[in-house]
Structure 1
């Protein structure tokens, strides 16, 4: 499937198709815990997409070439970009087709507060007019059941934003629940919002807004050591090459949206090694 086909198939879906897709996706996601425990020899990891259907299609092609691989999307499917509807419909369709190999995590833009400010809600209003509420409610129902973290091979933690101050153990993710339509639990909120900083050791307030923090190398490495983990993989911030490695190799950032003037990338994660795939 190329970009043109994806636009026709997924970005131009009608309201009945979308609500049906969302309902079936909701049923699957409802059965998943807040923290996914995954075991794969190879896992593809896709960062923020923000309506970048071209990156989404290229990542899907890489996934389809290996029948044993899994793929994790780290959230932020909508807002800002050209094909927001196309991206969310594509990843939901992938989930329905391969529920045991496709995993959709929640980002900070899978919330009404972000959709109101950054375009997704108004896109739906323009597209569906008087029917927009029905369509948007269907998407919100799906967003509210997305897990917000994944543990791969008991050694890698994957999430959207970063380490939360009150997350000390792996089971803290599981005990937090999923947070509903607009997560307020600090464990979830900070996980989808926090950022790393090499200028601090532990935690420091983040100018993104109230309740959001920077986390430093000491905080992350203490968490990894306490839980027997190797690395954390996150997205949430555009980086020039589409990826960046921080904290002496213990943190990987992957960003998959080209609309920030960067080279979009995905992470090809194996048990003992990793590489990056250009989505440009």
Structure 2
């Protein structure tokens, strides 16, 4: 990495409010250089607060107008779609992926499947670059929400602290703007009418039989405890009506759907059941994948959410060493798990690393129903940096959630003003 700083820093917002490819390239070069050469406390010298806020606000205004499930419809016979899984603040691997796959363009669409922040040390940089691409090419770049785009996860797994260390006294309002942006991220996409993508996966429909309710405590909404035999797969219409503008999944009625979409996992056991390991969302079997694909005339489900650490605890499903797994093969198609953060997690308590590859998927015309998998190694060496969370104390995967801190379904409006 060149020792001389890029000439464009500090970055300034375009006077005409119009982002260009040159501006994104300047942003990328500046952030990559700073990751090697500057301590986190000097980050505002590269991206001043006013510039960051303009970018985040501009992107938020676009995202909040998109539906819960966006339709990605490639135009022309030369347009491909790239699907990307979890990236978790691993800036240098994301930059490699973009260069390897080819940058977004009119002929190369991207669907990012959530979890841009936490665990890795460059969540701010990663998310800003992807937001810039979204602003520049709003109909070619789609950013879906992951379970880590929440107040709960960012407070536990490092992103909140990262923002505070990089922006100091201005960190609280900056973090608040990021949370507002997270609220606007769509929950799912349908690509070419044939591929459903969502971070966790499928979701429940309206409860058929009455659910048990916990005793109501003063000042707290009741929590719905749904019995397994009352669960059924939800419809795309129900997904479209779910309230996504909450920072942490709420717990009853239609607001259970975002929790399912973001947190659910596949299983080899038939049927739908509560995801007790995570404490939120569902487990669904191959029969549910078949039902969902057949009902909606899809060929594939592409989901993410499970890295090598999560899969290491699950003996029933394949590991994540290549960055992807095919979990269900049914009559109507397949269920794929895609993970795009190689050598994950960046910080690890044990000396033994997973050394997993990351991967992305290319969907090509004419039918967009033949996924091409591209695995890649982590960029090494990484810049030396301190973690933003206690990785030796925090659980390896998103299990055993502190449910009490999530019960309220807090939105940005509920936060203490800063």
TM-score band, normalised by the shorter chain?
Answer: over 0.9
What is residue 210 of structure 1 aligned with on the other side?
279
Which ranges of 4 or more aligned residues in structure 1 deviate by more than 3 Å? 1-6, 8-12
Alpha-carbon distance, 1:100 to partner: 0.9
What is residue 335 of structure 2 aligned with on the other side?
251
Alpha-carbon distance, 1:9 to partner: 7.2
What is residue 28 of structure 1 aligned with on the other side?
62
What is residue 278 of structure 1 aligned with on the other side?
375
Q: Please state which structure has a larger fraction of its residues in helix.
A: 1
Determine if contact 2:106/2:140 at 8 Å carries over to the other structure: no
> For residues 178 and 161 of structure 1, what CA distance do their matches in structure 2 show?
14
Any idea what the Cα deviations from partners look like across 1:240-259, whole Å, max 9, x if unmatched?
10011121151111101124
Determine if contact 2:322/2:358 at 8 Å carries over to the other structure: yes
1:86/1:208 CA distance change after superposition, 3 Å:
farther
> For residues 278 and 13 of structure 1, what CA distance do their matches in structure 2 show?
32
Alpha-carbon distance, 1:263 to partner: 0.4
> For residues 258 and 175 of structure 1, what CA distance do their matches in structure 2 show?
35
Alpha-carbon distance, 1:75 to partner: 0.4
**Which has the greater radius of gyration?**
2
1:259/1:132 CA distance change after superposition, 3 Å:
farther
Determine if contact 2:104/2:141 at 8 Å carries over to the other structure: no
1:165/1:80 CA distance change after superposition, 3 Å:
same
* Greater mean alpha carbon deviation, residues 255-264 or residues 173-182: 173-182
SS in structure 1 at match of 2:363: strand
- TM-score, scaled to structure 2: 0.63
- TM-score, scaled to structure 1: 0.93
Following superposition of structure 1 onto structure 2, how do residues 233-248 of structure 1 map, counting pairs within 5 Å?
233-238=302-307, 239-248=320-329
* RMSD of Structure 2 on Structure 1 (CA): 2.0
Is 1:180 the counterpart of 2:246 in the alignment? yes
Q: Please state which structure has a larger fraction of its residues in strand.
A: 1
Q: 1:221 aligns with which of 290, 308, 321?
A: 290
SS in structure 2 at match of 1:88: helix
Alpha-carbon distance, 1:4 to partner: 6.1
1:65/1:211 CA distance change after superposition, 3 Å:
closer
Determine if contact 2:147/2:262 at 8 Å carries over to the other structure: yes
> For residues 141 and 166 of structure 2, what CA distance do their matches in structure 1 show?
28
